[in-house]
Structure formats: structure tokens, C-alpha cells
A and B are shown apart, each in its own frame.
Chain A
Amino acid sequence: MKTSTLMTSILNAKHLSLVGLTCLVIFISGCNDSNKLSLHERSIIYCSEGSPETFNPQLVTSGTTIDSTSNQLYDRLIAYQGQDNIIGPALAKSWHVTRDGKKITFYLRKDITFHTTEYFTPTRTLNADDVLFSFNRILDKSHPFHYTSGGHYPFFESVKFSELVEKVEKINDYTVRFQLKRSDSSFLANLATDFSIVLSQEYAQQLSQRQAKHEIDIYPIGTGPFKLKEYRVGSLIRYYRHDSYWQGKAKIEQLVYDISPRETSRLTKLLAKECDVSSYPIAHQKITERKDLQLEAVTAQNVGYFGFNTKKAPFDNKLVRQAISGAINKQALIDTVYQGQATTAKSLLPETSWAYNDNTPEQKYDPVKAKSLLEVAGYPQGFSMDIWAMPVQRAYNPNAIIMAKLIQADLKKIGIKVNIITYEWSAFLRRLSDGEHQSFLLGWSADHPDPDNFFTPMLSCSATTTGNNRTFWCNESYDKLLQQARLTTNISKRKQYYTKAMAIIYEEVPLLPIAHSKRFQARVTNVKGKILANFGGIDFYSVSKKNGIKINNTEKETTN
């Protein structure tokens, strides 16, 4: 019968698929014992928090884009090295600064190769033309590539790069000279940031010929340890190792960014070992409890502070500012607002900066002294004041409203009544620049580790006119110290100047530094090597996977 044969075949098919299922189970359980390292052991999956806007760090300041591109795809002429963020050689094996500080000559390495990819095969190694191309693209408005991706170079605009650099010259194939209009000691620091990368001029030429100039920032070619293989917007970035990288090839062969904007899904993937490293993890407690996971943190180069409008009474009186600073319990703010994920700011500069001096004086919590200072200042009965709390969440201040409430409670103890005021963010900033406030909670994230980036933009006299210095505090001796520090390249001298500047801040208290927040990252324990840099974006070059060790995720015995 026709029906019965069909049924038999269905039954047979059922048997077959049962056999298939059994095979599958055997496969899953037994196949991983291959003697060669599996693909998984030679690759790293990083759960990142967002898609990059572009593959060219020159065009952005966003941390997500820098993390995804800068250190992976490119190199800089010079780079920060070591714990102290001292500037060291990179693409330039050495450099020379003339005595007047206006001419800086870079001597390039000769063995630097660009990426070979499906879309570009380099015929030459890096030379002066590439450096000229990369910087002239930013400086020269008539450069064919200047407007290719919108013509905005926000980092370089913020440090007034084109106003500083007179021109970039090619001396010979491996020597480049920057001519500056004036001496500026933060110039080298700017060149060492994640933004000052070197592109391939040969690739740009090819793109011009193909009428595909816009591809330069979409299909990147650099000299970095990894090269782009594949990018799917909102889904993944796949990097392959650049095998002829000038510092030796990376230990991992493949680096995949799994773009997972939801923090819960990043946590799940980390816990399920679907990613090896996760950015900005939540549930720190859970991660530290598990033996197979590690939580790490670096203190970011930022500062959250409480500032005073020194042009308005009663804050034009230094004693009042000192009194209020002494009455605030910073440790309580850090425990509550940052949940312990930050370090107390002793001064404007984070302790990780090379210019930080351990002897820098710090405002101590002392309500009794604060009360007496207030009496000396002529306010024995206290007074009423406004605190402007920023309405947005930032790393340097995760919740300004709560912080303002805590300060309110602290100041009540010395008889000061506090009103908390907040506006929508852009209105908040505008009104601050107009000087409508009495005191305010805000912060600053540095663009590069040069200490000048903390002192000048926040508190110099010139910054009062641009609206960045919202304390409107203008101190001539402070400004002079900064200027002297900028003019010299002698590190120990600069450190002395900045120490003196911090002493002035301590004495005058235009603002009270509160905290330097930390940046967190979680990883599976068998991933070795440094990823979080002391400064700037993450770097996967020195990362490796230690294999063969299986750690059970049994919970650690609590030690505290």
C-alpha cells in the first residue's frame, strides 16, 4: 500500500534522525580535544558598548570610537609609555626640539608596514609623505581630503592645532619637521593622543583615482597591530592580526567586537563566557564573587568638583570658600554618589599624573574649623545659598542631584541653608557661562594626560572669557605659573610649577575637587595582558589567552 510505504519511510527517517542526534551529541562533547589550538583559544571577543561612528579617530572625540579604532588600527608618531605617561618613541624613533621650541623634527622608523587587506595592498613602507598627508588633512582646508568626512576634527579644533602649527615639512623621506608659531610644551602631548594617528598616503591616492575618497574613513588602512576584516553596523567588528606589525605580531589572531549596547546583555554574555572581555560592566559584586571572572579599574583622567562663583557674594570672600570646603565630607560623597568606584580628589590633578606631587596639601573635612572660619568671615549666623547641580550623568559625577543633597546636609551643620537648582543641560551650561550661579557641581575630562589640560581650561583667566572657567576666578600668579610651565620641556621644572599652582588652588579654593572616577572593565580570568590604558582608549596588542586551565565558577570564599 502506498500509505504504508510512506509511513515506513517516515519511521525510517525518524530512526535516521535519532542516529543523527546521537552523532551530534558525540560531536559536541568530543570534538574539542583537537591538538591544535582551537579558533576560540586564539581569538578574543570584546563586548563593546556601542558602534563606532567612523574608523578614523581624527574625526571624533567619542570614547567608544577611540576604543574601537585608535590603538587597534593605527599608530602615532610618539606614544605615552609606562606608569607615568612619559612620552616615548613610536613611529618616530626619535625627535628633536629646537631651543626656542618652535621647530620639532621627527625621525621616522624605516620598517613600518601598512595593512594588506582585501581592498588595499601597499607597495611601500611608511615614509614622510604619510605623516604629511595625515596632518595636512587636518591643517590645510584646501587639502583634497580635508572635507571628505565633514571637515570636522574636534580634538584638533579644541587644542587650536591649526593656530599653533605654521606648517609641516618633509626634510627627506624619513624626516618630518613641524614648525610652530610659538613654543607649546603640550604640543608633543597632543601628538601622542589617540587622535593623532598616521594614515596611508598611498591608499588615499588610490582612492582618489577610483573616485572613492569617502572610503578612507570607512575601510581603514593603518599601521596598527590589527586590520579590519569585517564590520556590520550595530552587530560586530572583526579584526585580523597584522602579521608584519613593526613591534612584532600580536598574540591573538582575531579580535572581535561584539557590539552589545544593553548592559544586561553584556553581563549575561560575560557570565556565559560568550565574550572574553566586557566594557563598562554592571553588578561589580557578582563579578568579583566569581573565581573565573576579574574586575579591573583604572582611575580615569577626570575630576568632579564643586565650584564657586568668585564674582558673587559671599563667595568673593576666600574665607567663606575655605569654610564651605572644610565642611563637606568628601568620603561620604564618594561612598554614596560614586558607590566607592572613585578615588578622592586631593587636588585638581589625578594622582596618576606625573606632575602630581605627593606633598600637595588637601582640604580636610573639619566642620569645627569651618564654623570658626565662617565666623571670622563675618557670617556667624550662616547664610542661604544656591547649588546648581548638573542634570546629566557623567563618569566624573554619576548623580549631581544626590551629591547636592548630601552637601546640603553637610552645610546645614555649619548654619548654611542650601537651595538646589537644576536646569536642562544646554540651558544649564549657558546660564553657567553667563555667571548666573552662586555655586555649581560639574566636572572635567582631560583630552590628554598633559597636566596643562587640567589647569588651563578650567581655571585660567583666559578661560573666564570663553566661558569654560565658571568660577570666574582669575589669579595672575597662577596664570604666570602655567605659562612658565608651558614654555619649558624640562619635566622636573614643569612639575615644580604645577605643584605651586596646586598650592594656590588649595589656598584660594575657587573650586573644591571631589573625585576622580574610575573606568571599569571585566574579563574572563584566562585572558592575560593589559587592555585598559592609563590614558585614552583600550589596547588589545599585548593580550593573550592562557589555555588549558579550567576554573570552576564556584564562588570564592568571602575574605572580608
Chain B
Amino acid sequence: MFKFLAQTFVNGINVGALYGLAAVGLSLIFGVMRILNVAHGEFLMIGGYIGFWLFTLYGLDPFMGLPLVAIFLFLFGAVFYKVVFARVARFHEELKLKNSLLIGFGLYLIFPQIAMVLWTSDERAISPVYSGKAFGILGLRFGYVPLGGILVALIVIIALQLFLTKTYFGKSLRGTAENWKAAKLSGIDIDRTFMITFGLGISLAGLAGVLIGLIQELTPVMGIPWTLKALVVVVLAGMGSIGGAFIAGLILGIVEAVSAIFMGPYTIAIGMLIFLIILMVRPQGLFGRT
């Protein structure tokens, strides 16, 4: 029984790291821009398919292909910001949130259709030769692919944290998140900051997409469940808390995995339950500021 629980725990961490990675991108965009990107999961789906293409068409190892996916999605996000969100981002807070939500829902309707044309609605998977291989320690099974996923997620989160706390540009992102007017008066180009933030957030979603494609199937409609998961994690962590979002992702992953033992298919309700309880009891989230 103990071994079974421990194995479930390990599996939960695998999925939780991906929840965290997906949520961090959403949290970053919301924290800096006050735009809730409800099409976050759609960008994640596109990242997954790009990884799938790189692997199947060019034989590129999915982990080696991650930097390419990150760069491509960053540029895609930055251009997308310029074309679609730049005007909205100039509106005042309430109008900005409302309009960006509507745009996000629009994208959520459009992107899966485009994905169906490009990749059909068949389930796709990124399956290199080592997928499914594992090694054992103390009788627990550690798959290479999930372990790689956790490692990548950790490296990305630590790199992001260092970028935000140690570099001049990263600090300007945090400043913009705290007080955009003060940021403007400090000589920070808000429009450029927003563009790069959006690119970064989308890039993180894309990375999560590839890692997900390694352990689950990719489909054109996979986006919205991931948006919801990311949203639950962000609410759990508190809007705008980057490190917190990752830890909250791990928590959700573990809680879901363990509760699946008792609840089976009803596990999906657990996330929503946490979401509701946190909103009622601690609306600023576990790591948020009051």
C-alpha cells in the first residue's frame, strides 16, 4: 500500500510540474498586463503540435526541439500581441479585462478549427524510442520522459525567476506589474514590456504543450481543459505569483493523483472544488498578496 501511494505521489509530481509550467505563463501575462488570456491552452496546444511536427517531420528529439518551440512561440506570441492585444492593452483596467476575455474566447473558438485543418482531429503523440522506458529506485518506477519533463519545468521556472529578479529588464516587468503608471514615469516602454511579456507567457505555454505531448495525446480540443487547470493553479497560488504558481501546480497534481485512488473518474471535480474553496476562503491565493 505504501509503495502504491508513493508511486501515485511520484506520478502526481510529473503531472503537477506541467500544471505549474502551464500556469506560470498565464500568471505572468495576467500579473504584468492584467489580461486574462483564456486562450492560453490553445497556445499550449499549438506548442505541442509544433513539437510533434519537429519530431515526426524532421526527426528532431522532442527535448532537443524545446528551444526551437520556445523561440517560435515567443515570436508568435509577440506578433499576436502586436496585432490583436496591443490596442486592448491601452484601455483602462476594467475594459481591458472584459475585452481581452472576449478576444480570448474568440481565439478559443478559432484555434481548434485551424488545428483540425493542419493536424486533423486524430490523436497525436510525440513518442521517441525512450518513451515508456523507466528505471526503478526502491521499487518505485521513474519514467525517463516524465523525469525529463520535471527537470525542464524546474530549469525553466528557475531561469524565469532569475530573469525577473536579477536582470534590469526582468525588474522592469515586475515594476510594470506593480504600478504601470510609475513604470511609465520611470522611462519604461510599457508597450515593449507587454509585447515581451506576452511572448514569454506564450512561450512557456508552448513548452508545456510539448512536454504534455510526450505523456498524453495531442488533440485540437485539448486547450480548454488546460486553460482551466492553469486557472485553478493560478487562483490557488494567487494571481501574479510566479514561484507560487509552480508549487501550486505540484500541489494540484499530487492531490489529483492521490484522490484518483478513491474517486476514480470524479477526480476532475477536485480541482474545481479547490478553486471554489480558495476563492471563498482565501481569494488572494496561497502565495498572493492581500
**A, B: real partners:** no
User: Chain B interface (Cβ within 8 Å of chain A)?
Assistant: none
